[in-house]
Amino acid sequence: MLKITILTIGDEICIGQVVNTNASWLAAKCTELGCRIVAHSIVGDEKEIMISELNRLLPISDFIIITGGLGPTHDDITKPVLCEFFKDELVFHEETLNQIEFLFKWRGLKLTERNRGQAFIPSKCTPLKNLMGTAPGMLFSFQNKYIVSLPGVPAEMKGLMENEILPLISKLILIRKEEVVLFKNIQTHGIAESMLADLIGEPSEFLGNGTLAFLPSYKGVRLRIGVSSGNFEEARKELKIIEDIIIKRAGKYIFAIGEDTLGSTVGKILKEKQLTLAVAESCTGGLLGGEITSTEGSSVYFKGGVIVYSNDSKINLLKVNPETIEKFGAVSKETALELAENVRKIFATDYGLSITGIAGPGGATPDKPVGTVWIGISDKVKSEAKLFTFVHDRAVNRERAVGSALGWLYNKIK
Amino acid sequence: MLKITILTIGDEICIGQVVNTNASWLAAKCTELGCRIVAHSIVGDEKEIMISELNRLLPISDFIIITGGLGPTHDDITKPVLCEFFKDELVFHEETLNQIEFLFKWRGLKLTERNRGQAFIPSKCTPLKNLMGTAPGMLFSFQNKYIVSLPGVPAEMKGLMENEILPLISKLILIRKEEVVLFKNIQTHGIAESMLADLIGEPSEFLGNGTLAFLPSYKGVRLRIGVSSGNFEEARKELKIIEDIIIKRAGKYIFAIGEDTLGSTVGKILKEKQLTLAVAESCTGGLLGGEITSTEGSSVYFKGGVIVYSNDSKINLLKVNPETIEKFGAVSKETALELAENVRKIFATDYGLSITGIAGPGGATPDKPVGTVWIGISDKVKSEAKLFTFVHDRAVNRERAVGSALGWLYNKIK
């Protein structure tokens, strides 16, 4: 197995100002290729700890991927640190300067001295052309291992990985005849983690050499199965055996195998059945539409929606009867029903999906605490509404409302 | 300075299936208290590497915060690992069982044997009551240091931190008379990182003992200034001096000091000036509304919007002239103008904000590549539209469209 470690450099990550999405993206991509991610490490922009981490990670890695600290400002010190680690020095690299000049020209900006300095790179590295930014990637080969330093800007890091590093890793796995590790996701919705574990039964009885992990989130429990094997084909076969057993035991709660989300799964079904959808959102303020349209090509089945964040907009735009709101409140079964039905009619879609609730922290009443959410679904035959009670903060309540709405719609149309 | 390290346990984080938002939340909270976050480490659910990491982190930490691996399923091994590390054994803890039983009763579920097992905890720890889940927190005191193990479910981890650990850390800083480290954010929009650095000038000339970091993102460049000092008051004073210099030099691009986002900043201004807003979204599908309503209390100024994901909905709901779409296209200055103006009129708000664009990967035409986005703003005096050209993938283009719309509105109303 090709052992990978990921070293993220940057005070902003270390002190928690920025979430480390780079590391998870990197890990997921390398895992897909069959590598084993041994560890992640995050340290601030400090020379001593960066060097001590490189020394610690080197013996447990075949490949170290470093991100961050390559910007043009004084706080970025990855390049001098790598020079010290490899006993190397910075040299001018003409091609890199050409690329920097090209980028500035294309953006219509004047090249600064600061950015010109980015064309100096350690002499022992192979520079990797960054098509989207001014800091090149730098690949070092050392003790039969590789160390690559990439910029922290996500799009630049991803471009360099996809164009240079992932192909190199694939080649290494083939050449070195490395064992591969493969994983597969089984996505469930509507069942708690411990109940799902009971349903699936004792893992050791059917896993063989494989692994099974339970990953609960606000959007459902994801199961991850994994196997390691001498080659891809063998690994895929073993995964399939475990997958089939789990489907047999918990199929009722499984909505997708693989990376599909509830949103993209719902989208696939709508597309396949040539059905269309519109949404009416109150407390989620557009997040449901945002989630549905995060899937490319969603315009085939998603026609739009109305963000009815005020009572007036519920009444004027979605023709909710003012008496309904007065009598039952904006967060009520009756309002959810009218929202779902009317948005369906106005957008002339097959389904209307509505959310109205109290996300918090304000807005609660004695009989409607924070987390009270009514979800409505309307099709050409009937309209229904369900009460959900969440107990979290604003952000989580909104996320759970979106997940519950999509989960219920999924069960209706699957 | 109280030195903190954060150890995240879990294959799902290690292989990149789940983004480590816990670690950034934890780091941000401890940073706020004046602690120094020395390092983060993420390892899979494997005994050997977990123990070796505990051994590595202990000498460089005053406090280790561990999250994850406390669930009721077989893949969660943090408890036995802690027993081995501390040469301890699991004992039954009655109060924890009571809490687990209470939670199950409250949810109307039958207690499973699996969850009953969660009431066994290492004998040397102080158990911390988890109000939101079945796994208690576990606090160990060791060699004048602290190690706490918390569940990985974000809401449970946060509850335990806020109720138990953050107060303990505050007390430690006071008792031990630790030096504090304080940071402050200065948020900019509409200027590139290297230009901003040039504008601010050589940091060493005004920073004193402080630090300055540049944190570029798709939403703008955030500046982080930091100082360490003997006490809070002194540190705050030093921060203010640096802040004032930066405001003097780059004030034009600064929209907030602190944690405010563009969305919450726009919200504050709208509220203060008693102005209201409605949105019309095409390619962002609801994300703009979602971002605006992520701020609590946004219903005071945000009245709602329409997700016009189809031409029909642009024409029928927002009364865009069909000839406008036919002649100029749905992604055009003319359509953006009509969307902004009409959504303002229909919602009877002071401002209408519209986004129509090609998020990609599909939908491009020869003269309108992926990333072409028109943004419109309409108030009672006039309507305007601006062309933005982004060059990224679907998700980033949508994020940048939301940021640019809010940035432009901010400049109009500030």
> pLDDT tens digits, residue range B43-64?
999 999 999 999 999 999 999 9
pLDDT tens digits along A11-65: 889 988 788 989 999 998 998 888 999 999 999 999 999 999 999 999 999 999 9
pLDDT value for A12: 84
In 3D space, the residue among A56, A99, A414, A88 whose CA is nearest the CA of residue A262 turns out to be: A414
Pairing of strands B63-67, B120-122: unpaired
Which residue among A44, A155, A197 places its CB closest to the CB of B396?
A155
**With an 8 Å Cβ cutoff, are A197 and B316 in contact?**
no
Find the largest Cα–Cα distance for chain B. Answer: 78
Rounded to a whole number, what is the distance in angstroms from the first to the last CA of chain B? 39
A19 touches chain B (CB under 8 A): yes
pLDDT for residue B369: 87
Say if B298 is an interface residue toward chain A (CB within 8 Å): yes
**Cβ contact A191:A221 at 8 Å:** yes
pLDDT at site A183: 86
Low-confidence ranges of chain A (pLDDT < 50): none
* Mutation target vs A (from B21, B29, B42, B188; most A CBs, 10 A cutoff): B42
CB contact under 8 A, B303 and A285: no
Peptide bond into B361 cis (omega under 30): yes
For residue B363, count other CB atoms closer than 10 A to its CB: 18
What pLDDT score was predicted for residue B12?
A: 84
Question: Given A15, A115, A396, which is nearest B27 (Cβ)?
Answer: A15
Question: Under an 8 A CB cutoff, do B73 and A41 touch?
Answer: no
Question: How confident is residue B228, by pLDDT bands cut at 50, 70 and 90?
Answer: confident
Which one-letter DSSP state was computed for residue A164?
Answer: I
Q: Nearest CA to CA, how far is B105 from chain A (Å)? A: 15
Say if B72 is an interface residue toward chain A (CB within 8 Å): yes
Answer whether A170's CB lies under 8 Å from A37's CB: no
Q: pTM of this prediction?
A: 0.76
Complex ipTM: 0.74
- What residues in B contact A132, CB-CB < 8 Å? 391
Residues whose CB is less than 8 angstroms from the CB of residue B96 and which lie 6 or more positions away in sequence, other chains included = B118, B119, B121, B127, B129, B136
Distances (CA, A) of A370 to A373, B297, B359: 9, 13, 35
Q: What is the DSSP string of A27-96?
A: HHHHHHTT-EEEEEEEE-S-HHHHHHHHHHHHHH-SEEEEE---SSSTT--HHHHHHHHTT--EEE-HHH
The answer to whether A236 and A182 are in contact (CB under 8 A) is: yes
A394 touches chain B (CB under 8 A): yes
Higher pLDDT, B265 or B395: B265
Cβ atoms A5, A41 nearer than 8 A: yes
Chain-chain contact of A303 with B312 (C-beta, under 8 angstroms): yes
Residue A250 to residue A201: CA distance in whole angstroms: 10
First vs last Cα of chain A: how many Å apart?
A: 39
